Amino acid sequence: MNLIFMNEEEIRKLFRRGELVVSVYGLGFVGSSILAAWLLAGAKGIGVDIDEGKVENLMEGRSPINEPCLEDVFKVAKRDGRLTATTDGIKASRDSNVKIIAVPTLLRGNGEPDLSAVESAASSIAMGLKKGDLVILESSVPPGTTRSVLKPILESSGLKAGKDFGLAYSPERISEGRALRDIVESYPKIVGGIDERSTNVAAVLYSFIAKKGVIKVSSDIVAEFEKLAEGVYRDVNIALANELADLSRRMGINYDEVRRAANSQPYSHLHKPGTGVGGLCIPIYPRFLIWEASSIGIQLHLVRTARELNEDMPRVVAGLVKEGSKRLGIDDPVVAILGLAFRGDIADSRLSPTYDLIKALFNAQIKVKSVHDPLIRYDEMLSSLGVNLTEDLKEALKGVNVAVISTDHSIYRMTLTELLEMNPSLSLVVDGRHVIEVDSVPDGKAYVGVGRPWIIGRTSSKAT
């Protein structure tokens, strides 16, 4: 089947006949959601991963990851004979017309991008690549990766990109907890190929799954850059929010009130402050661009400063614990941290600022007794640090006098009175996510948010 040599009508007929086979390399949150989107549209799908457990789950029609709606799609596709999974990337390449790479990209200790997973997937694809196939990279990567890293590996097959097979970049644009909806309904798909043919074929294919349509850009490099620019915009905006929140708190005013008023102006888009920025997206994308800029002798001063501000937020929050303990005369603060996930109502703790918050508290000689998270049952790092992880909020608050809210889980949206009633010994609440409604602050108790002023029980003889 010479997919990339077909015109639009021929591709649409192929799709309607159910003959298009898409293999997705990487079955994490991104890859599993992408695979589900193609299956939902009617394509045949092959899930590829080195994790045998994920492959086994998919082979039985179960979702490899905890993400809404995916399992229902996989069950139906498995029943209809349109879904299979394997650890054999070479065979998956042979058996598919479209190969999508959605493996993680990380950073090495020296700040250099770690593209080893992309390179490994590309090597497997190359050994099964056929004339007429289309390869699409969806992993977030430094600009130029598709043509400078991926293309040479694929051409080791003896086939030439743009002549014998198509090659394009199309960034994933999802948030965990709504990934399938984001792909299918929320946003247009961005597509940029190494040549016009690759771009056009990829755009036709993505039009089958993206209800908001497809935006074709002039090259793969533009598409790669666009994805990172989205994340950097958010990182810089969050850093601005954190800096303004710090000033608001010190001035004795509430940043939330400032933000609401400012955002009534259509050109103001102030974000929320917090304990930091986590996940495998926003903390990494600025570093990719910083590395890319450095390689051509350019310094991204604003991007770097914003990243450093956000990375420093756990230390700032730990400082509020130390300050509050001093204000209340707490000689031996013992802390419960509420929230391990990097974002509310998801079960993903990758690069969560909670880890850095724990380290900052340890460095300040402050004991962390427990971490609560309603969605995460075990964490290897917390176990190695001797910190108890529990799903029971009352258990997490036992034996502590300080609570720090690090994640905006819905379960933490309560009044201060409700939180304090769970443990009468709880004296200090540091709200890193502004989720608590402050109804009253009893004598001897204190509350502060990263962008909210200190409120201390007025008749407390220890308050200063």
Is residue 281 part of the annotated active site? The answer reads yes
Catalytic residue among 78, 151, 216, 281, which?
281
Distance CA 99, CA 4 (A): 13
Per-residue pLDDT at 464 exceeds 60: no
Distance CA 403, CA 447 (A): 10
pLDDT of 461: 38
Tokens representing 239 are: 């850093």
Per-residue pLDDT at 463 exceeds 60: no
Is residue 99 part of the annotated active site? The answer reads no
Range 228-310 classified under CATH 1.10.1040.10? yes
CA within 13 Å, CB half, 352: 26
Distance CA 24, CA 45 (A): 8
Rounded mean pLDDT, 363-390 = 96
Rounded mean pLDDT, 342-358 = 96
Catalytic residue among 78, 227, 369, 445, which?
227
Distance CA 115, CA 128 (A): 21
Asked if the domains 3-218 and 312-456 are classified in one and the same CATH topology, the answer is yes
DSSP H helices in 83-219: 89-94, 116-126, 145, 151-154, 179-181, 196-206
- Among residues 48, 122, 129, the alpha carbon closest in space to that of 87 is found at 48
Hey, which residues does 446 pair with through a beta bridge? 428, 456
Q: What tens digit of pLDDT does each residue of 294-336 get?
A: 999 999 999 999 999 999 999 999 999 999 999 999 999 999 9
How many H-runs (helices) and E-runs (strands) does the chain carry?
A: 19, 17
Mean pLDDT of the chain: 96
The tokens 């002039």 sit on which residue? 218
Rounded alpha-carbon distances, angstroms, from residue 256 to 252, 308, 450: 12, 23, 10
Distance CA 56, CA 85 (A): 8
* 273 within 8 A of 451, measured Cβ to Cβ: yes
Per-residue HEC secondary structure of 436-452 comes to CECCCCCCCCEEEECCE
Distance CA 331, CA 307 (A): 34
Rounded mean pLDDT, 267-293 = 96
* 121 within 8 A of 87, measured Cβ to Cβ: no
Q: Using the 8-state DSSP alphabet, how is residue 279 labeled?
A: S
Burial 384-403 (b: 16+ CB within 10 A, else e): eeebebbeebeebbbebbbb
Q: Using the 8-state DSSP alphabet, how is residue 44 labeled?
A: E
Q: What percent of the chain has pLDDT over 90?
A: 96
Q: What does the domain layout of the chain look like in residue ranges?
A: 3-218, 228-310, 312-456
Per-residue pLDDT at 222 exceeds 50: yes
Cα angle 54, 60, 65; round to 5: 35
* DSSP states of 397-441: HTT-SEEEE-S--GGG-SBHHHHHHT-TT--EEEESS---B----
pLDDT of 110: 86
Domain 3-218: CATH architecture, name and number where available = 3-Layer(aba) Sandwich (3.40)
C-beta atoms surrounding 40 within 10 Å = 20
Per-residue pLDDT at 366 exceeds 70: yes
pLDDT of 26: 98
Q: What percent of the chain has pLDDT over 70?
A: 98
Give every CB contact of residue 291 below 8 A, 6+ residues apart in sequence: 111, 112, 113, 142
Per-residue pLDDT at 460 exceeds 50: no
The tokens 């990766």 sit on which residue? 145
The pLDDT confidence band at residue 109, using thresholds 50, 70 and 90, is confident
CATH superfamily of 312-456: NAD(P)-binding Rossmann-like Domain (3.40.50.720)
User: pTM to 2 decimals?
Assistant: 0.93
pLDDT of 65: 93
pLDDT of 60: 95
